[in-house]
Structure 1
Amino acid sequence: MTRSLSLRHLKDNDFFQVFNFRDDLAKGRSCMIFDILFSSIASNLITGIFFTGFLLENGIDMVDIGYVTSIPLFCSLFSIFTPVLLSRFKRRKFVLCAARFFYYSINILGITAVPILPLSLEAKKIYIVFVIFICNTINQLFATGFTAWHSNFLGDDVRPKYFSYQQIISGLAGFVTLLVSGLLTDAVSASDGSKLPIMMVLRLCAFFFVILDVFALSRPKEYEYKTSTNKVSVFSVFTDPFRYKNFMLSMIIVFMWTFSTHLSLSAYEVYALNELKVSYTVISTVNATYGWFIFFIVPFWRKHTLKHSWYRTLLVTTIPNCLTYFIGLFIVPANGLWLYPIYRLIQHVTGVGFNYAFANIAYVHLPEADRTSCLTFHALTSNAAGFLGQIVGTAIISATKNITFALPGLLLNNVKIALLVQCIWNVLMIMYVCRFTKKLGPTTEHTP
């Protein structure tokens, strides 16, 4: 009797209503959540602070790191060919999974080999640029195919629950990964103090989770792909989305926020490591705690979204989230060891609700037809904004390398000047979201 009640309780549990193997839709969502778990672990080991640190250990400076990390965003331009390319395949599962595997393989194995290659520093830079360009071009040509395929499993009734659990699992996976890898990176050094050996090992460990990730991605059922026209062209990416007004208004928010986040993204990490002298353990631990903030805060925002709408949640979270960046202007080496962690933790609190709402923007007004074109346009918008933000931010940092800018109570170096531009841009974004939130309702658009 007790066992029967226990099983019934599990079936009625909110999580198991969304993720189970009782039907194809639930099975698809279950595989997608495993993908989130494995890809989060792999991504945290090969991107972010560890990729920045890997480049620093190879002798690459802040400005060059800015340009290197902008390459994946530049490669997004090739996603305009995605609808034409994928329209040739009635069944896309195999080609999508193969592309994902090759992307990770070239990325992890190719970049990890840099320290052992008998090349000069300039030659290594060229090699890194080449490898990143190749693997990310492959990824961009096929990445939105997964979204068009997997969007079938995210109906309006389960989408809020799915995204809340997606954030929780991604955050907790990131917490464990960043905490363990940060401790290992600071604890294990070569005889000359280099962090390269342990960073290379961590990148190779990521490859194991890549294999699990690709396997999970390959399991969901594949449905027929609907299009509103018989012929798909490259221009469909730029014509189809404009038929859906609310979808396009949403894309402005995507552009503004992604542009903003990349203005000082990699530069501030380098600033924290080199100028503030914050250790990998502290940075990784602070970043990792985001998972716990998600765990405790997302349920509140999910209830808020169900009661109101996605864009209402976006509105009430945008203002505090954008304004937190002003705190970064006041962090200097004298207070960096204690103020930097506080700054990042405050961003965790304000960012959970915003990221929860922002993650769903591509789906709220996603039409039933032309999904591949619209999702490709979304990816193109996001990556183009990130590329422009990275280039503009890096250009500002390079141009003001030997310049300090004085404000009342503040002395800004080149990184802080880029951050100040980001803060001003965030104010403009707040104004846009406040102005247009009422126009961006909670309903899904359909083919006209």
Structure 2
Amino acid sequence: MIFRRLTDQLNAVVTQNMTEAGLNGKDPHVTARRHIILYGYSNSLLFNLTSGAFLTGFWLALGADADWISMVIMLASVANMLQLFAPFLLQRVRDTKQTVLHLRLIQHTLNLVAAAIIPLLGLAEPLMLRLVLVMVFIAYILGALAGPGLQIWHLKSIPPERRLGFFSFLHATNVIITFSAMFLGGLFTDGLTAAVSSRFAFILLRLLLLAVAVFDLWNLRKIDNPGVPGEIVNRRRQGLLDLPRHILSHPVYLLTILAASLWAMASSMPGQYFVVYLVSDLGYSYSLITGVSLLNLVVIIFLTPLWKRVIARLAWMRSFAFSTFLYAAGLIAMAFVGMGRFGLPLYVLSSFYTYIMALGINLSFANLTYVNMPDENQTSFVSLFNASFHGAILLGIWLGNRFMRHPLTGDGGPVWLGLVNAQLLLLTAAAAILISGFLIWQIGRVEKPIIDH
């Protein structure tokens, strides 16, 4: 009965959002939006099946240690910050679409083919690890350089009146597809690890993802590129010193970048420290934590229409601010999860609550990059937004690490009000999130409500 209700609700959400996203018809922009949706699926699969637990498993299978894996994750963030230089490449070519396609092709070749074949060459382990790292890091850089061009290119086919329905549909369906693929990917690697070896399992997974990469490139080729090169290749080539002049002439967008970066820094500070606290200090199992996270699927299926109405009423920026206020309240409640009879119920309820608010954050953030973006030099502005955002994530990870290792908080015992360092870190992150939400709310006061067709 519950499964049938979930299925019916999902079908209703998909049907309604397909109409509102403008995915019905034969117009070239409609066709482009369909391929952008499919590209979103393939891009998400490629990212999630080569990052997180799959990235950790891949490098462990090659013989790397935890410090090496931490370095790989840090290099991924550094590569994303190099998006700042994307405009100086894309503004110097006549066919942005072909340039982006070539960057993606080389990225997939290095990340999937080269990284999978090098471990099979019989090289000494230190040399093999370094070569794979070089291939993967170059792939990260190429993906970062292609990113801003992809965003502006695709945005041309998603007019403002379609974005709420489009982003809602993409998010709802993409999460379900990604969750399913990650579950199947876990079964695949676990099965092959038991039958053969972990190295064979993770190498084969990367090679099988080549099919997804081909699908990714095929969809990109099918997407029209209206306005290019005329709107992206400027009459005068932009230099590195032009970027400060552009951003300072648009202070509202600069404030948007700063507020979004503050959110990114704050939300990345807790990292995995609170999960470690749940497992090590409270004795929660990973299966329990994973099971609670599945509530996220229920939230997306049932509450996406509700958040769409909220965003339509408050508009993008105020919806983001509103959801961050409520999300911070959930983090504050979660910070007080501890031993005792009420610890587990509080963890489940606060997790469920934060998933609800995180849905509002994710849906409203999808368009936050573009709300106050000027019409000219858009590739430069998107590059700056993305580079600042990823730089803030790296800063948040570093601050979280420093907090956990500080002499006043690093001994693992109670620090204040009986709370340990991981709990206090969550409270600190919640305070910073509240500040970022307040800034976004102030910036978005003049934004008009959305009329979504």
**TM-score, normalized by length of structure 2?**
0.81
Alpha carbons 2:17, 2:168 under 8 Å: kept? no
Aligned residue for 2:172? 168
Paired with 1:124 and 1:323, the residues of 2 have a C-alpha distance of: 47
Paired with 2:432 and 2:143, the residues of 1 have a C-alpha distance of: 32
Alpha carbons 1:57, 1:196 under 8 Å: kept? yes
**Deviation readout 1:232-288 (Å, 9 max, x if unpaired):** 112333332332222122112221122223334356667778886845x66666556
1:442 has 2:443 as partner: no
**Deviation readout 1:154-173 (Å, 9 max, x if unpaired):** 21211111111111121111
Q: 1:217 to 1:427 in 2, by over 3 A?
A: same
Alpha carbons 1:171, 1:292 under 8 Å: kept? no
1:238 has 2:244 as partner: yes
1:321 is matched with which residue: 319, 324, 327?
Answer: 327
Instruction: Return the offset for 1:332.
Output: 7.7
Paired with 1:174 and 1:36, the residues of 2 have a C-alpha distance of: 11
Paired with 1:426 and 1:209, the residues of 2 have a C-alpha distance of: 38
1:380 has 2:387 as partner: yes
Aligned residue for 1:351? 358
SS in 2 for 1:427: helix
**Deviation readout 1:171-226 (Å, 9 max, x if unpaired):** 1111211232334455554369x654433333333222121112112211112242
Q: How does 1:41-56 map to 2 (within 5 A)?
A: 41-56=45-60
Instruction: Return the offset for 1:331.
Output: 6.3
Alpha carbons 1:170, 1:291 under 8 Å: kept? no
Paired with 2:186 and 2:345, the residues of 1 have a C-alpha distance of: 18
Q: 1:338 to 1:116 in 2, by over 3 A?
A: farther
Q: 1:14 to 1:384 in 2, by over 3 A?
A: closer
SS in 2 for 1:90: coil
Q: 1:397 to 1:197 in 2, by over 3 A?
A: farther
2:153 is matched with which residue: 149, 154, 166?
Answer: 149
Q: 1:270 to 1:387 in 2, by over 3 A?
A: same
Instruction: Return the offset for 1:102.
Output: 1.8
Paired with 2:186 and 2:348, the residues of 1 have a C-alpha distance of: 15
**Deviation readout 1:37-65 (Å, 9 max, x if unpaired):** 22222222111232234345555555543
1:40 is matched with which residue: 24, 39, 44?
Answer: 44
Q: Which blocks of at least 5 consecutive residues in structure 2 are unaligned?
A: 1-11
1:365 is matched with which residue: 358, 363, 372?
Answer: 372
**Deviation readout 1:361-409 (Å, 9 max, x if unpaired):** 1011122211111111111111111222233334555677973242356
Alpha carbons 2:264, 2:392 under 8 Å: kept? yes
Alpha carbons 1:36, 1:169 under 8 Å: kept? no
Instruction: Return the offset for 1:147.
Output: 0.8
Alpha carbons 1:185, 1:195 under 8 Å: kept? yes
Instruction: Return the offset for 1:328.
Output: 5.7
Q: 1:148 to 1:237 in 2, by over 3 A?
A: farther
Number of residue pairs aligned between Structure 1 and Structure 2: 428
1:406 has 2:406 as partner: no
SS in 2 for 1:157: helix
1:250 is matched with which residue: 249, 256, 276?
Answer: 256
Q: Which blocks of at least 5 consecutive residues in structure 1 are unaligned?
A: 1-8
SS in 2 for 1:363: coil
Alpha carbons 2:45, 2:178 under 8 Å: kept? yes
Q: How does 1:202-351 map to 2 (within 5 A)?
A: 202-224=205-227, 225-226=230-231, 230-265=236-271, 278-279=285-286, 287=293, 290-326=296-332, 329=335, 344-351=351-358
Q: 1:295 to 1:239 in 2, by over 3 A?
A: farther
Paired with 2:373 and 2:145, the residues of 1 have a C-alpha distance of: 20
Aligned residue for 1:4? none
Instruction: Return the offset for 1:309.
Output: 1.3
**TM-score, normalized by length of structure 1?**
0.82
Q: How does 1:18-167 map to 2 (within 5 A)?
A: 18-58=22-62, 60-112=64-116, 116=120, 126-167=130-171
Paired with 2:349 and 2:132, the residues of 1 have a C-alpha distance of: 34
Q: 1:397 to 1:114 in 2, by over 3 A?
A: farther
Q: 1:283 to 1:16 in 2, by over 3 A?
A: same
SS in 1 for 2:203: helix
2:398 is matched with which residue: 376, 391, 394?
Answer: 391
Alpha carbons 1:46, 1:206 under 8 Å: kept? no
Paired with 1:62 and 1:396, the residues of 2 have a C-alpha distance of: 20
Paired with 1:115 and 1:282, the residues of 2 have a C-alpha distance of: 35
Q: 1:297 to 1:74 in 2, by over 3 A?
A: same
Which amino acid in 1 is paired with 2:211? F
Q: Which sits farther off after the overlay, 403-412 or 20-29?
A: 403-412
Q: 1:248 to 1:303 in 2, by over 3 A?
A: same
Paired with 1:77 and 1:247, the residues of 2 have a C-alpha distance of: 18
Q: 1:96 to 1:236 in 2, by over 3 A?
A: same
Q: 1:433 to 1:75 in 2, by over 3 A?
A: same
Alpha carbons 2:107, 2:140 under 8 Å: kept? yes
SS in 2 for 1:349: helix
Q: 1:112 to 1:213 in 2, by over 3 A?
A: same
